[in-house]
Copies of this chain bind each other. A is one copy, B any other.
Amino acid sequence: MTKTVQDNRQPVTRVRPGRNEEGRLEILTAATTSFMQLGYARASIDEIADRLGATKGRVYHYYRSKADILMDIHRHVLDMMYAEVEPLADAENAADALRDMAYRHVMIVMKNLAFTRVALLSTTDLFMNEKQSDFVGEIGKVRRAYEDLFVTVLERGMRQGEFRETRARLLAKPLLGSLNWTTMWYVDRDGTTPETRAEIAEIVVDYVVGGVRK
């Protein structure tokens, strides 16, 4: 059911058409790694190409510009998030729904650390790109839609009497903050086994759910 999110990238040819999809993904991941390690500005196209043992030509064969790569990263992350979290919002109990959503969200962040970190930290660099501001609006819509997922669950929980009564939209801000902040401190050590990830996720989730309950 990710249709609504994925299909509205048609008007603008974000990606060069007729290209190999796997090849494009290679560029995308390499670029993401570079952006994470050096930041969007400091990471050069040549550096991305070097990481693949190639040259600029290969990169520009798949993407029209550096900014386009960044946009594609954003689209990638948002699609992933929405597709995995949206189905969990329907659980009978609002508290359970929120718990599942938060858990999944944090897990995605940890498993795709490079992507999510870049998507969050480079928001500024993206939104300052005057040209193609139509895409920025597009991204903004999806962000809003994702936030609405949590707002809706919060409102439901308030009506059901499980959650404290306040402005749901305002409450959603620090809530998403505690989830997204994971990108800022979580490190992908070698010794980090899935167990500790689950452990981290549960601590965060307990905090989140406790923060909205009565």
Residues of A whose CB lies within 8 Å of any CB of B are 37-42, 121, 123-125, 128, 164, 166-167, 170-171, 173-182, 184-185, 200, 203-204, 206-208, 210-213
Contact = CB atoms under 8 A, between A and B. Distances in A.
Given A41-B125, A167-B203, 17 more contacts: A39-B41, A42-B125, A121-B124, A166-B203, A173-B181, A173-B182, A174-B178, A174-B179, A174-B203, A174-B207, A177-B178, A177-B180, A177-B184, A206-B211, A208-B211, A210-B212, A210-B213
Interface centre among A41, A171, A179, A208 (most CB of B within 10 A): A41
A197 to B, nearest CB: 12
A94 B167 CA distance: 26
B203 A128 contact: no
A177 B181 contact: yes
A174 B170 contact: no
Nearest to A126: B39
A181 B185 contact: no
Nearest to A185: B173
Given A164-B210, A181-B176, A211-B211, A203 B170 contact: yes
Contact of A181 (B125, B174, B206): B174
Contact of A42 (B41, B175, B207): B41
